[in-house]
Structure formats: C-alpha cells, structure tokens
Amino acid sequence: MSAASNYLENALLDNYFGTGCYVALFSDTATDAGGTELASSNGYARQALTVASAASGAIANTVAITFTASGGAWSAALSFGIYDAITGGNLLAHGALSASRTAGDGDSISFAIGDLDISAA
C-alpha cells in the first residue's frame, strides 16, 4: 500500500479520537486484541481523553488525565488503551507506558498534558 497523505492521517485521527474516547490502563502489555484492564474495584474507571485537532499525523492529550484516587491498591499499570466507550466498546489504539505506574490506597495515576500521544505515521 502507498503511504497515507498528511491530510488523511490527520482526518483519521480527528475522526476516531476527536470526541468520546476514553483511556484505560492495563496490568499487562496490550496487544491489538486488548489487555487485562485494571479491575473496576477500588475506584478504577476509564478516563475521558481530550485532544486538539491532529497535526503532522499526531495528536496528544490537551487536558491532564487523572484516574480517580483508588479506594485500595491497584495492580501495576504497564500499558494503556484508547476506547470509544467508557465501558466495553472498541479498542482504537494501545501503547506501553514509559515506566510502570502503581496506585496504593488513596493514590491516583495521572498523565500531564502532552504525555499521551498517538501517531498515525
């Protein structure tokens, strides 16, 4: 297949990630089929993803992503996924975290603005 144009890359990213996407955390290495999402117990829930319009075939979060403080310890998060629904839904993208993240009782896991990026290229 030929390479996609910059226009198409940006349009695809805007279409799929522009609104209504949620970040999930996995306790294993995610694959195209998904991963083992952290248990919904202890306060874990997917968090909304807010991005600006794609540029140069990439997007990044424009609002910090903060998972609610846990009501107990969570498994270590090793990777993440982007879904089109707050529960269930379709996995759109996934990636490894640069370092594992853990949350003990009362802790939260967060991503600063620009820390979570997706590239179409």
Answer whether residue 1 shows pLDDT above 60.
Answer: no
**Residue 58 sits in which domain range?**
6-119
Residues 6+ apart with CB under 8 A from 42: 70, 71, 72, 73, 74, 105
Residues 6+ apart with CB under 8 A from 47: 22, 23, 65, 66, 67
**pLDDT single digits (tens) 49-77:** 999 999 999 999 999 999 987 788 888 99
Instruction: Label residue 56 left, alpha or beta by phi (over 0 means left) and psi (-120 to 50 means alpha).
Output: left
Confidence at residue 35, expressed as pLDDT on a 0 to 100 scale: 94
DSSP lists the bridge partners of residue 60 as 117
Place of tokens 């846990």: 70
Residue 1 belongs to some domain of the structure: no
**Nearest alpha-carbon partner for 67 in 37, 43, 88:** 43
Residue 87 belongs to some domain of the structure: yes
**pLDDT single digits (tens) 70-113:** 788 888 999 999 999 999 999 999 999 999 998 888 888 999 99
- Counting the structural domains of the chain, the total is 1
Residue 96 belongs to some domain of the structure: yes
Confidence at residue 27, expressed as pLDDT on a 0 to 100 scale: 94
Handedness of CA 42, 93, 19, 56 (dihedral sign): positive
Cite the beta strand spans of 1-121 per DSSP E: 21-26, 47-49, 58-60, 65-66, 77-83, 91-101, 110-111, 117-119
Confidence at residue 115, expressed as pLDDT on a 0 to 100 scale: 94
Confidence at residue 74, expressed as pLDDT on a 0 to 100 scale: 86
pLDDT band for position 19 (50/70/90)? Answer: confident
